[in-house]
Structure 1
Amino acid sequence: MVVDDQAVVRAGFAAIVDAEPDLHVVAEAQDGAQAVRLARELSPDVVLMDIRMPGMDGLTATRLLTAEPTEPAGAAPRVLVLTTFDQDAYVHDALRAGASGFLLKDALPEELLAGIRVVASGEAMLAPTVTRRLIDAFADTAPAPDPELLTSLTPREREVLTLVAAGHTNAEIAGTLGVTTGTVKSHVNALLGKLGLRDRVQATILAYDLGLARPRRTHRE
Structure 2
Amino acid sequence: MLPRETLATARVPGGDTLTLVSHGRDFVIMLGRDELMGTRMRFSEEQLAELTLARLVASRPRVLIGGYGMGFTYRAALAHLPEGGRVVVAEVVPEILEWAQGPLAELTGETLADPRGEVVIADVAALIDDAVDGTSERYDAILLDVDNGPDGIVRDGNERLYGRGGLTRARDALNPGGVLAVWSAAPDPRFTRRLKDAGFTVEERTVRARPNNKGPRHTIWFARRSA
TM-score normalised according to structure 2 size: 0.29
Higher strand share: 2
Structure having the higher helix fraction is: 1
- Flag the structure with more relative contact order, 1 or 2, with Cα contacts below 8 A and sequence separation at least 6: 2
**How does the TM-score come out when normalised to structure 1?**
0.30
